[in-house]
Amino acid sequence: MIYLRLFYEFFKVGLFSVGGGLATIPFLSDIGSRTGWFTPGDLANMIAISESTPGPLGVNMATYVGFHVGGVPGGVIATLGLVCPAIAIIALIAGFLKKFRESRAVDAVFYGLRPASTALIAAALIQVCSIALMFHPATGPEQGASAQGFYWPAILLAAAVFLCLQLKPLKKLHPIVFIALSAAAGIVFQM
């Protein structure tokens, strides 16, 4: 039964998350709160791992959750649930591509999807910032934030990375360098 639920939940995510991997984050947050499969701290870890590994963000997160909930079969089923809507839609559109490309109605629909996609990505940004800068990863939202609601070590690390990215010689470095340095800082300071 858990496999059917995994497929169903991620099928919905794949069907409605227009805009790529970041647009899946609000849907994943909702899944976590409704099912109890993962906490906001787990979601932050999922984002970090999914961003650090090859492959699409949404697919990586679906695989992560599926594996966490149902082992290897769960990972496969959640991933299939996420990608099935896209495959079905592409299969339907492929036969009519020429007709759709010249349709004003389709152009209008895609024009209308732009703000929806932007809003989903903005919602993801707000949630990621909230998780990363306000919650201590080990204790969660109840004990991790200071009286003002901010987790200052994470904010200082984010500011340091931002400032480093403004320096011209550092802009040429590969992103993996910043990922490795941030991981090292997290280990050293046990953030």
For residue 97, what pLDDT is reported?
A: 66
Over residues 98-145, the pLDDT tens digits come to: 666 677 887 788 788 888 888 888 887 887 777 777 765 555 554 444
Q: Tens digits of per-residue pLDDT, 64-98?
A: 899 989 999 999 999 999 999 988 888 887 777 66
Read off the pLDDT of residues 37-73 as tens digits, 9 standing for 90 and up: 988 888 888 888 887 777 788 888 899 899 989 999 9
Chain-centre distance for alpha carbon 69: 18
Buried b (16+ CB within 10 A) or exposed e, 69-92: bbeeebbbbbbbbbbebeeeeeee
- How many alpha carbons lie under 13 Å from residue 86 in its C-beta half-sphere? 15
Kindly report, residue by residue over 160-174, the tens digit of the pLDDT.
Answer: 878 887 888 887 888
Check if the beta carbon of residue 61 is closer than 8 Å to that of residue 44.
Answer: no
Q: What pLDDT was estimated at residue 143?
A: 46
